Chains A and B, each alone.
Chain A
Amino acid sequence: MYSQGLLGANTETEETPEFLAAFQARIDREEKIEPNDPMPAAYRKTLIRMISQHAHSEIVGMLPEGNWITRAPTLRRKVALLAKVQDEGGHGLYLYSAAETLGVSREQLTEELLSGKAKYSSIFNYPTPTWADIGAIGWLVDGAAIMNQVPLCRCSYGPYARAMIRVCKEESFHQRQGYELISSLAEGTEEQKAMAQDALNRWWWPSLMMFGPSDTDSQHSDQSMAWKIKRFTNDELRQKFVDATVPQAELIGLTMPDENLRWNETKNNGQGGYDFGEIDWDEFWQVVKGHGMMNKDRINARRKAWDDGAWVREAALAHAEKQSNAKTAAKTAA
């Protein structure tokens, strides 16, 4: 979301204590940092890591839902799902563009995804065996993503904040269509209701894991908060999500798969909130490390898409070069 005309400018900064203090002062004044502004190397590195992981998540996130486009039960559901998956592709593009303003190329980021070096949200390494999963993804996965993304609209790095504003505008439809879908199933036959409950059972805990490790174990949180890249900690956002989502499940007659879930009126400074059970962090780390059910399939699908599209990219570039040469020749002749 930024004119990248100056890309390639010298990004080295001498990090004297005065420089770091002046940078922090800009952040504390709520000034946005723009590309090519001097910034600490670690600030740049953190943003590249966050934005590129986010971009990869959007792109890989197209796969579990893409799985159901051809089998959507009605035309209404099919156009919604197509539009949603297309949006995710767009979100990936906005985010890669934002990352590029920090001096990395999209080719480099793609390479890191395809080689398995880059991380993306673990949630997309879970399979989508039933139609109700599409509802659960929109409702829970997009719901959790929105919780994360709304504060990112105020991120101190301008291009990321601007990309997130666009993403959030579009994301709301994703969550609503998912909730509508799973509500219809929950109101349907016994079999349909069971399918909705089963999807909730499988997606609830992985959705809570989307907020990342607990604050006590998170490596990146403190500095990111000080730099106002993040505005809330992982645990704060997770709590907000639980508090928002539990009543939504109750409303449509579904039950959260957590026997330790109960209202605690002393939580959130006396406003009340839900206590919930312990997250299975072993499962989380297993999936992060590549041992989830779908890790291999996802990367293979991305590689196949990249390889199968190679001839299109080559042809488009060759055509562009030919046209450009023809133009030059015509000019020279005239």
Chain B
Amino acid sequence: MSDSKMMPLWEVFIRPRNGLNHKHVGSLHAADGELALQAARDVYTRREEGNSIWVVRAEDILASDPDKSAENFDPAADKIYRHPSFYDIPDEVGHM
């Protein structure tokens, strides 16, 4: 490739409407944040998908290690006492 430098990669987050979270929708390449926002608008909001965009440099995202997903997330599986249905209360109480 003739270009000596690669275009940085950006992750795109869109808020579909007020009251909802921004959600990851995809990624794109752009030289800087301003151009990344413009490209994100063109690529990811052509059909009223949202009213707010965040872009983040992909290299700035830290991710948990998939190899450690068992030790990270399995311990939660046997802690059913963290859920309301674990506790017995009289039926007469109704909804609680």
**Contacts of B40-75 to chain A: CB distance below 8 A:** 42-43, 46-47, 58-63, 66
Asked if A106 lies at the interface with its beta carbon under 8 angstroms from chain B, I say yes
A3 and B61 in contact, given A316-B31, A317-B7 (Cβ under 8 angstroms) = yes
Q: Are B46 and A314 in contact (CB under 8 A)?
A: no
Q: Are A7 and B58 in contact (CB under 8 A)?
A: yes
Q: Which of B6, B42, B63 contacts A6 (CB 8 A)?
A: B63
Q: Which of B7, B47, B63 contacts A3 (CB 8 A)?
A: B63
Asked if A325 lies at the interface with its beta carbon under 8 angstroms from chain B, I say no
Residue total for B at the interface (Cβ-Cβ under 8 A): 29
Question: Which residues of A have CB within 8 Å of B92?
Answer: none
Contact bitstring B17-41, A, C-beta under 8 A = 1, else 0 = 0000000111111111001000000
Q: Are A319 and B62 in contact (CB under 8 A)?
A: no
Q: Which of B3, B11, B61, B66 contacts A313 (CB 8 A)?
A: B3
Q: Are B63 and A320 in contact (CB under 8 A)?
A: no
Question: Which residues of B have CB within 8 Å of A100?
Answer: 9, 27
Stretch at the interface among A87-95, A207-215, A246-254: A87-95
Q: Are B26 and A97 in contact (CB under 8 A)?
A: yes
- Assembly CA distance A310 to B2 (angstroms): 8
Question: Which residues of B have CB within 8 Å of A83?
Answer: 46
Question: Which residues of B have CB within 8 Å of A110?
Answer: 1
Give the shortest distance, in Å, between B88 (CB) and chain A (any CB): 34
Question: Which residues of B have CB within 8 Å of A316?
Answer: 30-32, 35
How many chain A residues sit at the interface, stated as a range, is 35 or more
- Assembly CA distance A256 to B63 (angstroms): 53
Q: Are B11 and A3 in contact (CB under 8 A)?
A: yes
Asked if B5 lies at the interface with its beta carbon under 8 angstroms from chain A, I say yes
Q: Are A37 and B25 in contact (CB under 8 A)?
A: no
Contact bitstring A211-245, B, C-beta under 8 A = 1, else 0 = 00000000000000000000000000000000000
- Assembly CA distance A305 to B29 (angstroms): 17
Q: Which of A2, A97, A107 contacts B3 (CB 8 A)?
A: A107
Asked if A34 lies at the interface with its beta carbon under 8 angstroms from chain B, I say yes
Asked if A5 lies at the interface with its beta carbon under 8 angstroms from chain B, I say yes
18 extra interchain contacts, Cβ-Cβ under 8 A, other than A83-B46, A313-B3?
A1-B24, A3-B27, A4-B11, A4-B58, A5-B59, A5-B60, A5-B62, A6-B63, A7-B58, A37-B66, A87-B46, A97-B27, A106-B29, A107-B1, A163-B26, A317-B7, A319-B32, A320-B32
What residues of chain A have their CB less than 8 Å away from a CB belonging to chain B? 1-7, 34, 36-38, 83, 86-87, 90, 93-94, 97, 100, 105-108, 110-111, 163, 166, 170, 310, 313-314, 316-317, 319-320, 323-324
